[in-house]
Amino acid sequence: MFAGWLKTGGFKTSVVQTQMFPGFPSRSFGNYGMIGGVPSTNLVAWFNPSINVTIGTGVSSWKDTSGTYNLSQSTGANQPSYSTANISYNNRPYLSFNGSSMFLNGGNILNIGTNVYLDVVCIYKTLNIGTAQFVIDSTNSSSLTGRYGLGHNVTNYFALYIDSTSQKVAAGLNNSSTVTMQMCSLDRVNGKLYESSDYQWRLSNTATNVENTSFINNNFMLGAGAGTTDFWNGDILDIFIYMGTTGGCMNQNDYLALRQYMGQLYNF
């Protein structure tokens, strides 16, 4: 499972699984709370394009590194394409979405439930800035109630949306030729949304009523918005999902460590 990961130090031999999210440790392993170069505290899922990818017509299944969560698509015409190497991404693999029909379903893997902290990190490149499109959405329902998702709108902002566009935190996008790391964070203890972009930590935040928001548990989607609209047009490299009831959102040091590690992997 760990073949090919860059290590910051030796791995410990004991791993204790959490009851909520089997497959990841309840305490960190490796040096400095890292799995290779990835912060491990509150890590729920890491979708790594180097492993656990099943090919049909395109990508029919993409499991996270633990094998716990699965993104799938049974219809060949809707499967994102898969490339094993790209010189622009340091000769590493990635998934590509065409902006019109390709997406993956993930069931209820983003059910926030009673968790109060949520961080979603996306490594991606968009090919068509200026159109509304989603990287992820928490539901395939067209209803806005209890929905949350990440994507960008027609004014070139990448945003975390809660319920409707009236509750969002947004930051400007890089140009379409640039690989980007974006993290959107939900802190229900303080009722705030945050966004971090590349090496910029919490470059924007907004106070909202999110501490009492009741999120729906429906159908997580990658590459499209609710109701299979607003399709993503670009490449998706890695997706990280952090969630928990304690420990808070990812801190600045961990975020910057992850950005450095991803930059080393993909040369951006």
Give the whole-number percent of the chain exceeding pLDDT 90: 34
| Distance from C-alpha of 139 to C-alpha of 226, rounded to nearest angstrom | 6
- Which CATH code is given to the segment(s) 98-266? 2.60.120.200
> Does residue 16 surpass a pLDDT of 90?
no
| Distance from C-alpha of 193 to C-alpha of 118, rounded to nearest angstrom | 10
Q: Is the dihedral of CA 204, 208, 212, 216 positive or negative?
A: negative
pTM above 0.85, yes or no: no
Digit-coded pLDDT (tens) for 254-264: 999 999 999 99
Which of 63-77, 197-211, 244-258 has the lowest average pLDDT?
197-211
> Does residue 204 surpass a pLDDT of 80?
no
The two tokens of residue 199 are 């090496």
Residue 4 CA from chain centroid, whole number: 21
Mean pLDDT of the chain: 77
More confidently predicted of 38 and 247? 38
Q: Which sequence spans correspond to the domains of the chain? A: 98-266
| Distance from C-alpha of 263 to C-alpha of 268, rounded to nearest angstrom | 5
**By the 8 A CB rule, do 185 and 193 touch?**
yes
Tell which residue, 62, 132, 75, 82, has the closest CA to residue 101: 75
Q: How many Cβ atoms sit within 10 Å of the Cβ of residue 230?
A: 20
